[in-house]
Copies of this chain bind each other. A is one copy, B any other.
Amino acid sequence: MDKTTVKVTRSILKGAPEPTLRRLPLYYRLLKQLRETTGRTGISCTVIGSELKLDATQVRKDIEMTGTVGRPKVGYEINELISAIERFLGWDKITEAFLVGAGNLGEALMGYPGFTDCGLSIVAAFDVDPNKCHRVIHGKHVRHISKLTGLMRRMRVQFGIITVPGEHAQQAADLLVEGGAMAIWNFAPVKIHVPENVIVTNEDLYCSLAVLSQKMTRRLAETRSKGAVKS
């Protein structure tokens, strides 16, 4: 068993570091785009790095996690790399999802292009508001929330997306858990409590905003002091 195998095995056992996981989609998108727009079949870390303004070694280590091997002087096969990323992230298999909260955000997600590439298929949406129910948005039915648990069990859907207002997020989570959810993608800006075996990822806008806000604040402080402070 060579070194690469060891690393790949570890990546499967312990999972890739989160920073790596968050960069893989960037490579994925770039690769797909290159495949579409240009005719090239190979790519090197150097090029990927300069396109995305990342260190080439970092790109190489990330790619290593997916198990793809390259060739000196040439780089990687674009097609092979794309497949490897899909396989590594589980984007090669279809995951069906229920969405709770058919408001604007929910509707936006239902029409989100490219989720298909990630194997994510939102099969139905649910809402408490009867006015929002019985509609069809982007080809998906919106049903009353009371139907969620039953349908979820029956259809064996294991993935839930929460796009309800914060104050109802916990209820939504409870229903999804009752329906047998294995994972929940929570867009509400609240911490939801679920059993330990349920995976939760929060999409918290305020966390990103904080990063941006502080950068702006520091930039403003710099310009105010006429560039005296260098970072």
Contact = CB atoms under 8 A, between A and B. Distances in A.
Interface of A: 12-16, 18, 21-26, 28-29, 52, 88-91, 95, 103-105, 107-108, 111-115, 118-120, 159, 165-166, 182-183, 185, 189-191, 199, 201, 203-221, 229, 231
Given A91-B213, A104-B107, 18 more contacts: A12-B218, A15-B231, A25-B207, A25-B210, A29-B190, A90-B217, A95-B213, A104-B105, A104-B111, A105-B108, A114-B206, A115-B209, A118-B213, A183-B212, A185-B208, A185-B209, A199-B215, A201-B212
B211 A201 contact: yes
A91 B166 CA distance: 20
16 contacts: A12-B218, A15-B214, A15-B218, A16-B214, A21-B207, A21-B210, A21-B211, A25-B204, A25-B210, A29-B190, A89-B210, A90-B214, A104-B104, A113-B166, A182-B216, A203-B208
Contacts of A212: 183, 185, 199, 201
Contacts of A89: 210, 213-214, 217
A89 B206 CA distance: 11
B216 A159 contact: yes
B216 A95 contact: yes
Given A104-B108, A104-B111, A113-B166, A219 B182 contact: yes
Nearest to A14: B231
Given A215-B183, A215-B199, A216-B199, A229 B21 contact: no
A113 B209 CA distance: 14
Nearest to A15: B218
Nearest to A88: B214
A176 B192 CA distance: 36
Nearest to A111: B104
